[in-house]
């Protein structure tokens, strides 16, 4: 998705006027000048590769970031973290990587494509069922019943890896009728009524709103995944890439992520 925000000419003019006027509060005047200078220093475009489960949150963060830095453009490519990591290793043009798995980020770091990643969120799993709940799913063990159609993420995808851990913790054997490329595709099988249930992230159930019904997984068997982020070494706009990473890690970024259902890392 490509998000653009035009220059706020009136706001910039007002800031410049205030910075140029005398003030009895030197600290306030200095802070205004520093903020204006910081915004002027950041310009151009970056491409952010992010886990599919971050789609809604990062679209919001992208808009807010651009409002804070007029004249910048953030373009997102969402997908399975494992797929995105492979794309980076193959030279795909990108500036920032936000993964739903430490393992996938570690592979990017090991290849020399990023350094010093920071965890910014954590996610846990939840069962999603169609609103009518035709499979009469009420608890995790129902997914192992004969005839129940379950959708999961592919095993190499973070949401598939974490779902597998949930089943291991609960000592359940669940045979999915479909394994999807990422969590959004898995959730789509549920919203379309093609399966009785899907195991996705809590944040995906929340983002789906009234399109699905969520069934909690007991905390003693649930599993989680950490989300690391890093600027990529081959970025063509390193300053802007690092600024976006810092924004995700900031209090504003944390607020957006918390509202979406993510937990603190």
Domain of residue 90 covers 2-121+226-259
Half-sphere exposure of 30 (CA within 13 A, CB side): 4
Number of domains in the chain: 2
Distance of CA 238 to the CA centre of its chain: 20
Q: What is the pTM of this model?
A: 0.83
One domain, residues 11 and 71:
yes
Residue-level pLDDT at 231: 98
Residue 204 lies in a domain: yes
Residue 264 lies in a domain: no
Residue 265 lies in a domain: no
Residue 93 lies in a domain: yes
Residue-level pLDDT at 35: 38
- Helices H, strands E: what count in the chain? 10, 10
218: left (phi over 0), alpha (psi -120 to 50) or beta: beta
One domain, residues 13 and 67:
yes
Q: Which two tokens stand for residue 250?
A: 């900031």
One domain, residues 173 and 252:
no
One domain, residues 104 and 154:
no
How far apart are alpha carbons 195 and 178 in whole angstroms?
A: 9
Residue 232 lies in a domain: yes
How far apart are alpha carbons 8 and 222 in whole angstroms?
A: 46
One domain, residues 45 and 105:
yes
How far apart are alpha carbons 212 and 127 in whole angstroms?
A: 10
- Kindly give, in sequence order, each residue whose CB lies less than 8 Å from that of residue 142, ignoring residues fewer than 6 positions away: 135, 136, 148, 197
One domain, residues 135 and 171:
yes
CA distances from 207 to 12, 57, 81 (A): 35, 9, 19
Strands (DSSP E) found in 64-201? 72-79, 96-98, 118-130, 150-153, 178-180, 197-201
One domain, residues 148 and 45:
no
Residue pair 140/146 in contact by the 8 Å Cβ criterion: no
In terms of Cα–Cα distance, which of 235, 244, 201 is closest to 61?
244
Distance between first and last Cα of the chain: 26
One domain, residues 79 and 161:
no
Q: Which two tokens stand for residue 112?
A: 């020399």
Residue pair 225/158 in contact by the 8 Å Cβ criterion: yes
How far apart are alpha carbons 175 and 150 in whole angstroms?
A: 7
The DSSP-derived string for 102-131 is HHHHHHHHHTTSB-S-EEEEEEEEEEEEET
One domain, residues 10 and 115:
yes
CATH of the domain at 78: 3.40.190.10
One domain, residues 7 and 86:
yes
Q: What is the DSSP-derived secondary structure letter of residue 156? A: T
Residue-level pLDDT at 41: 84
One domain, residues 191 and 232:
no
One domain, residues 241 and 140:
no
Those residues of the chain that have pLDDT short of 70 are: 1-40
Tens-digit pLDDT profile for residues 174-214: 999 999 999 999 999 999 999 999 999 999 999 999 999 99
């Amino acid at each position: 998705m490509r998000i653009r925000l035009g220059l706020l000419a009136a706001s910039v003019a007002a800031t410049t006027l205030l910075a140029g006027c005398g003030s009895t509060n030197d600290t306030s005047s200095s802070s205004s000048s520093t903020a204006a200078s910081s915004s002027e220093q950041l310009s151009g475009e970056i491409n952010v590769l992010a886990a599919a489960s971050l789609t809604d949150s990062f679209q919001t963060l992208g808009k807010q970031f651009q409002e804070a830095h007029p004249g910048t453009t953030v373009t997102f490519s969402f997908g399975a973290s494992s797929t995105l990591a492979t794309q980076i290793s193959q030279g795909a043009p990108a500036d920032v990587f936000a993964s739903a798995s430490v393992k996938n980020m570690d592979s990017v770091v090991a290849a020399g494509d990023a350094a010093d990643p920071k965890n910014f969120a954590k996610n846990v799993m939840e069962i999603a069922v169609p609103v009518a709940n035709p499979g009469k799913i009420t608890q995790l063990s129902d997914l192992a019943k004969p005839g129940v159609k379950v959708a999961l993420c592919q095993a190499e995808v973070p949401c598939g890896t974490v779902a597998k851990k949930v089943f291991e913790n609960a000592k359940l054997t669940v045979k999915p009728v479909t394994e999807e490329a990422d969590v959004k595709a898995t959730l789509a099988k549920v919203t379309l009524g093609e399966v009785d249930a899907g195991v996705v992230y809590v944040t995906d159930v929340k983002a789906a709103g009234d399109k699905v019904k969520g069934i909690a997984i007991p905390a003693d068997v649930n599993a989680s995944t950490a989300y690391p982020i890093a600027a990529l070494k081959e970025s063509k706009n390193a300053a802007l890439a690092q600024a976006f990473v810092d924004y995700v890690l900031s209090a504003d970024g944390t607020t957006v992520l918390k509202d979406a259902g993510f937990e603190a890392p």
